[in-house]
C-alpha cells in the first residue's frame, strides 16, 4: 500500500500531466467558432450535391482534396469511395480514429432552401430524388473542420488522429459490399492500429445543441429480410385456378406483426419488424406467380434477435404452406448492436459537457435506429453520441424525422458537433493512461 505522501505526490503528477492545457482548449474552441461559417458552407455544398451509398465519388474527391491541402497523409479511395487521412501529432500518444459517414438517401427533398438538392436518380427501378435526409452532410463537414483545426495544432497533439470518411452507412446497393464493414475489412483499424474510435450523429428531432448518449447498448442491431412467395399464376377472373401470392403475402405481413406484439417479451427490450417494400404483379387482370416483400428487424438484445429470426422463418413458411404456396425467407444481418464501452463513455462525458454545457448533456434510453459504427466498436472501444439539431419553435411530436422529404436541421448544431469531436479527441490524448 502506498503511503500518503506518495499518494499525494502521484495525484499531483497526474494532474500536472493528465489534463489538456486550458489555454490550448480555449484556443481550439476559439478556432472552432472561427471555422463555423466554413463548416456550414461545406455542409451546404454536400447537401446540394448528395450521392447515394457507394456512389459518393465527387463527395470523396472533395473531402480528399481538402485533407491534402491540410498536409495530411490521405488515402483515397478506400472501401469504394471513402477517404482515410492521418495526422501525426508532435508528441507520442494513442491512435484515435474519428469517423463521419458521407452518403445520402433516395428521398426527394421538399423545401425551398437555396441549397436544396435537385439531384435525381433511379433506385430499385424507381425514379427518385437524392437527399441528405439523415444529416450525413453535417457529419462530413464537421470532420473536415476537426481535421483543419487539429492540423493547425499539431505541435500540441499527443499521438495520431485517423480521420475516417466512410461511404454507404445506409447500406450498400444489393450485391455490393460497403460501409463500415468494408472499411474494417480493408484494414482501416490497422496501420497504425487504432486504440479508440469516436463518432457522432446529428438528430433533427432532439433539442438544439443537446448532446445525448447511452453507455453499453445504445442503438439496435439491424437485420434486413426478404420473403419470396411463390404461388400459381392465373387469369384474374378465376382466382380458384391460382395460388394467389398477393393474398398470401398479405397474410404473412399480418402474421409478422404478431411476432413482436404477441410473441416477444417487450418488458425486456423493444423490438421492431417492418415490411418496407412489397412488389408483385404487372396488370389488373393477372394473378401473378410471385410476390416479394422486404423489410427490417431491429433488436436490442442478441438472444431476442435470434428468436425473432426463427419466428419470421416459421411464420412465413407455414402461412405460405397453408395456402399451397411456398415462401423463401432470407435474413441478412446488417448492423450489430451499437455498443458504447462503459468505461470509455464515463471518461469522455466531461469532454461532451465542455462542448455543450452541463445542462445540455444527458443520457437517453436505447433507440431502435441502427448505425454501422457498431462494426468498428466490435473491434475497438468506441463512443457514439448524438447532437440535437431540431430547429427552434418546432413541436417535437410532429417535427419531420430522419429519412423524410421534410427532414431539416438547425445549422447552429454544427458548432456543437465540431467542439464535441475536438474536445473528445484532445482530452483522450491527455488521459493519464494514454501518456
Ligand atoms: Ni444516419
CA of 423 relative to ligand 1 center, distance in Å: 22
Check pLDDT > 80 for residue 17.
no
CB within 8 Å of 250: residues ≥ 6 apart:
none
Q: What is the pLDDT of residues 204-247, one digit of tens each?
A: 999 999 999 999 889 999 999 999 999 999 999 999 999 999 99
CA of 101 relative to ligand 1 center, distance in Å: 8
Lowest mean pLDDT, pick from 1-10, 61-70, 240-249, 398-407: 1-10
* Mean pLDDT of the 296-309 span: 92
pLDDT of residue 19: 79
Check pLDDT > 50 for residue 9.
no
365 close to 214: Cβ distance less than 8 angstroms: yes
Q: What is the pLDDT of residues 388-432, one digit of tens each?
A: 999 998 998 999 999 999 999 999 999 999 999 999 999 999 998
Euclidean distance between CA atoms 364 and 362, whole angstroms: 7
Check pLDDT > 90 for residue 12.
no
Euclidean distance between CA atoms 213 and 342, whole angstroms: 11
CA of 134 relative to ligand 1 center, distance in Å: 5
CA of 50 relative to ligand 1 center, distance in Å: 14
Please name which of 207, 210, 322 lies closest in space to residue 255, comparing C-alpha atoms. 322
CA of 19 relative to ligand 1 center, distance in Å: 33
- How would you write the chain as a 3-class SS string? CCCHHHHHHHHHHHHHHHCCCHHHHHHHHHHHHHHHHHHHHHHHHHHHCCCECCCCHHHHHHHHHHHHHCCCEEEEEECCCEEEEEEECCEEEEEEEEEEECCEECCCCCCCCCCCCCCEEEECCEEEECECCCCHHHHHHHHHHHHHHHHHCHHHCEEEEEEEEECCCCCCCCCCCCHHHHHHHCCCCCCCCCCEEEEEEEECCCCCCCEEECCEEEECEEEEEEEEEECECEECCCHHHCECHHHHHHHHHHHHHHHHHHHCCCCCCCEEEEEEEEEECCCCCEECCEEEEEEEEEECCHHHHHHHHHHHHHHHHHHHHHCCCEEEEEEEEEECCEEECHHHHHHHHHHHHHHHCHHHEEECCCECCCCCCHHHHCCCCEEEEEEECCCCCCCCCCCCCCCCCCCCCCCCHHHHHHHHHHHHHHHHHCCHHHC
Please name which of 69, 65, 85 lies closest in space to residue 192, comparing C-alpha atoms. 85
CA of 135 relative to ligand 1 center, distance in Å: 6
214 close to 363: Cβ distance less than 8 angstroms: yes
Three cell numbers at 106?
Answer: 433516395
Please name which of 39, 372, 356 lies closest in space to residue 199, comparing C-alpha atoms. 372
Q: What is the pLDDT of residues 333-369, one digit of tens each?
A: 988 999 999 999 999 999 999 999 999 999 999 998 8
* Mean pLDDT of the 94-109 span: 98
Dihedral Cα 257, 261, 263, 269, nearest 10 deg = 120
pLDDT of residue 197: 98
Q: What angle (nearest 5°) sits at the alpha carbon of residue 373, between those of residues 65 and 154?
A: 45
Inter-axis angle of helices 413-429 and 136-152, to 10 degrees?
50
Check pLDDT > 60 for residue 8.
no
Euclidean distance between CA atoms 334 and 383, whole angstroms: 20
Q: pLDDT-derived band of residue 278, with 50, 70 and 90 as boundaries?
A: very high
CA of 316 relative to ligand 1 center, distance in Å: 30
Q: What is the pLDDT of residues 168-210, one digit of tens each?
A: 999 999 999 999 999 999 999 999 999 999 999 999 999 999 9
pLDDT of residue 5: 45
Check pLDDT > 50 for residue 307.
yes
Annotated catalytic sites, by residue?
103, 169
Q: pLDDT-derived band of residue 434, with 50, 70 and 90 as boundaries?
A: low
If you average pLDDT over every residue of the chain, what do you get? Answer: 94
* Mean pLDDT of the 134-140 span: 98
Check pLDDT > 80 for residue 102.
yes
CB within 8 Å of 258: residues ≥ 6 apart:
315
CA of 18 relative to ligand 1 center, distance in Å: 34
Walk me through the domains of the chain, giving residue ranges and CATH numbers: 16-217+337-434 (3.40.630.10), 221-335 (3.30.70.360)
Q: pLDDT-derived band of residue 15, with 50, 70 and 90 as boundaries?
A: very low
pLDDT of residue 396: 86
Amino acid at each position: 500500500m502506498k503511503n500518503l505522501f506518495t499518494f499525494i505526490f502521484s495525484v499531483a503528477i497526474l494532474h500536472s500531466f493528465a489534463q489538456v492545457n486550458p489555454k490550448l482548449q480555449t484556443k481550439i474552441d476559439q478556432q472552432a467558432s472561427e471555422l463555423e461559417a466554413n463548416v456550414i458552407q461545406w455542409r451546404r455544398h454536400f447537401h446540394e450535391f448528395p450521392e447515394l451509398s457507394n456512389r459518393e465519388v465527387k463527395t470523396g474527391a472533395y473531402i480528399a482534396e481538402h485533407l491534402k491541402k491540410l498536409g495530411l497523409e490521405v488515402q483515397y479511395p478506400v472501401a469504394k469511395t471513402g477517404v482515410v487521412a492521418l495526422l501525426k501529432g508532435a508528441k507520442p500518444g494513442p491512435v484515435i480514429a474519428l469517423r463521419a459517414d458521407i452518403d445520402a438517401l433516395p428521398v426527394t427533398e421538399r423545401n425551398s432552401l437555396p441549397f436544396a438538392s435537385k439531384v435525381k436518380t433511379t433506385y430499385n427501378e424507381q425514379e427518385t430524388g437524392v437527399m441528405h435526409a439523415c444529416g450525413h452532410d453535417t457529419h462530413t463537414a464537421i470532420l473536415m473542420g476537426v481535421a483543419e483545426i487539429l492540423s493547425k495544432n499539431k505541435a500540441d497533439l499527443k499521438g495520431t488522429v485517423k480521420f475516417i470518411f466512410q461511404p454507404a452507412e445506409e447500406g450498400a446497393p444489393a450485391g455490393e459490399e460497403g460501409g463500415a464493414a468494408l472499411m474494417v475489412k480493408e484494414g482501416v483499424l490497422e496501420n497504425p492500429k487504432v486504440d479508440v474510435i469516436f463518432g457522432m450523429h446529428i438528430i433533427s428531432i432532439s433539442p438544439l445543441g443537446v448532446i445525448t448518449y447511452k453507455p453499453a447498448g445504445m442503438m439496435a442491431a439491424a437485420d434486413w429480410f426478404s420473403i419470396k412467395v411463390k404461388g400459381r399464376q392465373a387469369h384474374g377472373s378465376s382466382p380458384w385456378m391460382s395460388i394467389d401470392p398477393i393474398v398470401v403475402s398479405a397474410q404473412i405481413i399480418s402474421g409478422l406483426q404478431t411476432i413482436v406484439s404477441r410473441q416477444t417479451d417487450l418488458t425486456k427490450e423493444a423490438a421492431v419488424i417492418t415490411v418496407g417494400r412489397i412488389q408483385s404483379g404487372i396488370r389488373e387482370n393477372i394473378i401473378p406467380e410471385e410476390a416479394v416483400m422486404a423489410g427490417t428487424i431491429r433488436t436490442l438484445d442478441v438472444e431476442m434477435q435470434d428468436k425473432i429470426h426463427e419466428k419470421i422463418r416459421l411464420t412465413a413458411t407455414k402461412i405460405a404452406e397453408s395456402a399451397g404456396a411456398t415462401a423463401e425467407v432470407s435474413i441478412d444481418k446488417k448492423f450489430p448492436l451499437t455498443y458504447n464501452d462503459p468505461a470509455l463513455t464515463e471518461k469522455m462525458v466531461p469532454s461532451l459537457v465542455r462542448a455543450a454545457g452541463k445542462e445540455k448533456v444527458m443520457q437517453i434510453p436505447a433507440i431502435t435506429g441502427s448505425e454501422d459504427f457498431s462494426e468498428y466498436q466490435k473491434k475497438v472501444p468506441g463512443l457514439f453520441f448524438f447532437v440535437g439539431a431540431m430547429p427552434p419553435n418546432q413541436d417535437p411530436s410532429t417535427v419531420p424525422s430522419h429519412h423524410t422529404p421534410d427532414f431539416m436541421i438547425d445549422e447552429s448544431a454544427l458548432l456543437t458537433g465540431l467542439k464535441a469531436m475536438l474536445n473528445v479527441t484532445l482530452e483522450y490524448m491527455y488521459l493519464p493512461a494514454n501518456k
